[in-house]
């Protein structure tokens, strides 16, 4: 029996990418858990922001929404979405955690609709909220998501949040800030990045016991494979203890 489940693994791995002193806009759920865990382990000086306006709170417990009163607990600011978005537009936010129903090989995200007719979609999704602003202006975008072929598609049905658009220099050429874009995709199977000239999704590390073939079987397009692919380091017992006892003791997220 595994000492941790896939959600715990994804949260712990995502938290490692948050260097001490960084700033990150987190949503509720796994991204918030990753931010809280980072603060309590390797990144005590990490600055957390919420889309609804909470800036640098000392989260007492897991908030249930981006407007939860806990997102402003002992915060530097209890402002508004306008203030959060203006901070990203000024280049002051390092990371944004985003998600969507679809993601393609260039890191573009779709949370708007499924189908080929915007006015008559097969499925109408929640839409952007502030996701487009965050994907456009934050320096690095992080995604935590289950790895399923229906999510990882060759081309998203609608670009809600831009990644590298059509690859190579197309993001820069579009006028979006230089050196920004999708940074890491953390799934239950692997960690993937875009650090290559094509700006295509590339396997960097594999979850324990997972093969490259298994990742490819669950992806709707051909993945690039880094030359030095290795196993993702599993979470330590102490990190799991903090996640379970201090970050999410009621298992709102890790119990999924």
**Which residues are the active-site residues?**
51
Helix (H) or strand (E) holding 7: helix 6-16
Residues in Cβ contact with 192 at an 8 Å cutoff, skipping those fewer than 6 apart: 184, 185, 201, 202, 203, 204, 223
Could you tell me which residues are beta bridge partners of residue 123?
114
* C-alpha pair distances (Å), 144 with each of 141, 241, 248: 10, 21, 17
DSSP state of 241: H
Distance from the Cα of residue 178 to its chain's centroid: 20
d(CA 73, CA 169): 41
Helix (H) or strand (E) holding 131: helix 131-137
* C-alpha pair distances (Å), 225 with each of 164, 165, 193, 228: 18, 20, 10, 8
Do you know the residue count of the chain?
A: 256
- Beta-strand ranges (E) seen in 1-94 are 23-25, 47-49, 54-55, 77-78
Instruction: Let me know: does 40 contact 242? Beta carbons within 8 Å.
Output: yes
Rg of the chain over CA atoms, in angstroms?
18
d(CA 90, CA 85): 9
């Amino acid at each position: 029996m595994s000492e941790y489940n896939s959600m715990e693994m994804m949260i712990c791995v995502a938290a490692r990418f948050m260097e001490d002193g960084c700033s990150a806009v987190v949503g509720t759920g796994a991204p918030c858990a990753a931010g809280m865990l980072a603060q309590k382990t390797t990144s005590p000086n990490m600055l957390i922001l919420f889309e609804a306006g909470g800036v640098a709170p000392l989260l007492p417990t897991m908030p249930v929404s981006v407007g939860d009163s806990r997102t402003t607990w002992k915060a530097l600011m209890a402002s508004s979405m306008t203030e959060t978005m203006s901070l990203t537009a000024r280049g002051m936010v390092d990371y944004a955690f985003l998600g969507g129903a679809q993601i393609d090989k260039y890191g573009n995200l779709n949370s708007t609709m499924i189908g080929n007719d915007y006015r008559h979609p097969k499925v109408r999704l929640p839409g952007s909220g502030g996701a487009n602003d965050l994907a456009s202006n934050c320096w690095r975008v992080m995604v935590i998501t289950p790895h399923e072929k229906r999510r990882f598609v060759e081309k998203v049905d609608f670009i809600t949040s831009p990644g590298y658009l059509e690859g190579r220099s197309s993001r820069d050429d579009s006028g979006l800030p230089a050196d920004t874009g999708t940074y890491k995709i953390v799934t239950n199977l692997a960690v993937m990045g875009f650090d290559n000239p094509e700006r295509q999704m590339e396997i960097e590390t594999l979850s324990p016991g997972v093969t490259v073939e298994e990742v490819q079987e669950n992806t709707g397009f051909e993945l690039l494979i880094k030359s030095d692919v290795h196993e993702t380091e599993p979470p330590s017992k102490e990190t799991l203890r903090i996640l379970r006892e201090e970050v999410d003791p009621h298992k709102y997220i890790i119990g999924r």
